[in-house]
Structures are given as structure tokens and as C-alpha cells.
Structure 1
């Protein structure tokens, strides 16, 4: 019996020789190691891909934000330039030419009240202020006794007609503005029940200057959007 044979064992269990038997490692351990390595590699690759996607989208968002900021900045500069241009154009001597001078406006003075002499005295005052005076008479039936305010300024529609009525309106406080289908360039000042006298000359001049200062500017929408 060999020294390697445990006591009490023999026969087919007897161990001969003087070397220990070699034991092979189980093959499934190698598979576990390989699977672990593959899992680590897969997770690393997934993490790297996620970081790349985050960088791409973050870069795109930053670029869009920068582009939007540049556009907004450019738009603001454009609006500022337009505002400055309009402010510079406002008040130029050419604005005064958009409104007619009083001596180019022929005014018919018509009395719609039961007080006599108002048409004549008003016409004389308008003449002193530089207006051309046309007809001086009582108002026609459609206005006679029917104008409760200080008066009505009446003329043809259109840009020129509106401009003439605006200038005449500076001479009469709280007057209505109306239009008819007349062919001529004259305008009517119809005296109403609340009329006492024309506006003070200084007030009328200030009102006329105000119309000149606020002459219509170029059309277009302002900068909101």
C-alpha cells in the first residue's frame, strides 16, 4: 500500500505512486470570466455612446440659442434704427407743406342759430386770421336750428379735403367734422347753438403747429413680434 492511500481503503481505491493526482478546473468558470468581460465592455460602450449623444444635442441647443440671440439682437438694432430714422424725419420743414396755408382755404360762413350777425362777425375774424371768405349767409334747412355744438366744418372727402378741414377746425373749439359730395375746394363753417366766438388766436396757432408736428409718418407696423 502506498503512503498516499488513506487508512482503511484499498482495492480499487488504492493509490499507487508518489504523486498527487491533478485536478482540472471546471470549464464553466472560464465562461463566467468571459461573460463578465463582455458585459463590462458592453456597458462601457453604451456609456460612451450616451455621452456622445448628450454632447451632440447640447451643442445643437447652444448653437440654436446663439443663433436666436443674434437674430433677436439684429432685429432690435433694426427697430432702433427705424425709430431713429422716423424721429429724425419728424419735424422737418417739409412737414408743413402737407397742410394747406389758411390763405389757400376758402371758407363759407353759415349761421344755423337764431342769433343774427354771427356769420358776418365770424367771417370778418377769419379774414383777419388769413382765411379767404366765400359765402356769408344762413345755414341751409338741413342744418338750420339743428347744430347743438359750437359748429360743424363741412367739406369734400379725400386727402386734400381732410387737410383743409383740419386747418379750419383749429379755429373753432369742439366742432364736428363732416363730409359731402361737393366738387369745389371750398369748405363750410356752420355756426351752432353753443358758439360764442372763435378760439383765441394764440390757441388756434398752437393747435395748427401741433397738427404740423404730428403730420402722418410712414405706414408700417411697429417692432412687438
Structure 2
């Protein structure tokens, strides 16, 4: 052969193009890997937003949410009804150095429908020792029934119960910060809210 293909020794030039099969195999493998990773990532995103795609789990979560949003019958039945002022007897006791407060306060409570028991100075346990507006004291059974009703008449008063106390009477012990009972209109609004509380809103997480 002549020209550039002339044979000059024992080495012969290649007359065909080099094979590219190796490159094609590598490219095919790389493409498959990319597609596989992309598909796996898509499945992971779907699992995150759908909770794994488990319909039974989704139904169970929805049922649990519905159950949590509604109070049980036992919880509703456990609520104790509030008492009317006319069924509550209040002893008005003055623990301050100002005279006449017990009688004046008792007269106002009577106008608001409460029954009045003893009107006197506070016993030594409380006399000149109540720094706040007052203390409302009653038996343990009055905590969720009578005490909230009386508490509406003197906002800010401390509420206490005595498990050893006999009877159903309450004590209103007037303290140094006492400036009078809560305005009747405000007390009536508080009683209305106690008698008909707003339902607890359902959780927005559902």
C-alpha cells in the first residue's frame, strides 16, 4: 500500500474505528442509577405527605382526632351544677380595722339574693391577717358549686376549702385590700359565663 498506509515495518495500522461499546455501557448504567435515585426520592416525598400511604393508619388517626375533639359522656356527667344564690348561706366576717364593712357587705349580698348567716369580726386565725381583697372559705364540696358563685361577687378573692368543715355555709372574710363587691352587672355576667361556658374549640392539628 502506498501513501500514509504504506507498510514500513512489522507494525500494521488499524483500518477500523475503535469500539465504543464500553462508553455506551457506562452511560446506560449511569442513566439507570439516576432514574432509580429520582424514583426513590419521589416515593420518600409521597410517604412524608401521606403518612406512608397506609389507609388504615390514616383512618385510625382521623378517628382518634374525632374522639379527642368531643368530650366523653363521663366528663360531661362529672361537671357539677352551679347553685343559685338563694340556696347559699354566707357568713360575712371583717378581718380589717375598718368598722361597719361586714354589715354593709352583708346587706349588699342580701340584695343580690344570697342568704346571710353570721355578721361579725373575723376569728383570730384571720383577724388583721388578710392582705388581699378577701378570702372565701367553705367545705370541700363547695369548690365547684357554691364558691364560684360567691367568687363572682368579689373578683380577686382567694378561695379556700376546709375538708373538716361541717355544713354548707360559706365565709366571706373581708381583707385589707377590700374596696367593695364587684359591680352587680359584672357579677351577673360572670355568673352567666359560669352557667353556660363556651365549648372548648377542637384542635386544629386534626
- TM norm structure 2: 0.65
Change (3 A) 1:119 1:60: same
Unaligned 5+ segments in structure 1 are 1-23, 87-93
RMSD of the TM alignment (CA)? 4.2
Aligned residue among 85, 109, 127 for 1:102: 85
Unaligned 5+ segments in structure 2 are 1-9, 72-76
Q: 1:186-220: CA deviations, max 9, x gaps?
A: 211012234343233222212222334546849x9
- Which one has the bigger helix percentage? 1
Aligned residue among 107, 125, 136 for 2:119: 136
- Counterpart Cα distance in 1 of 2:101 and 2:38: 86
- Counterpart Cα distance in 2 of 1:196 and 1:40: 95
- Counterpart Cα distance in 1 of 2:21 and 2:177: 102
Aligned twin of 2:183: 200
- Counterpart Cα distance in 1 of 2:118 and 2:186: 26
Kindly indicate whether residue 145 of structure 2 is the aligned counterpart of residue 168 of structure 1. Answer: no
- Counterpart Cα distance in 1 of 2:179 and 2:28: 95
Q: How many residues align?
A: 185
Aligned twin of 1:184: 167
Whether the aligned pair in 1 keeps the contact of 2:82 and 2:144 (CA below 8 Å) is: no
Aligned twin of 1:54: 37
- Counterpart Cα distance in 2 of 1:55 and 1:148: 72
| Higher-Rg member (1/2) | 1
Whether the aligned pair in 1 keeps the contact of 2:147 and 2:159 (CA below 8 Å) is: yes
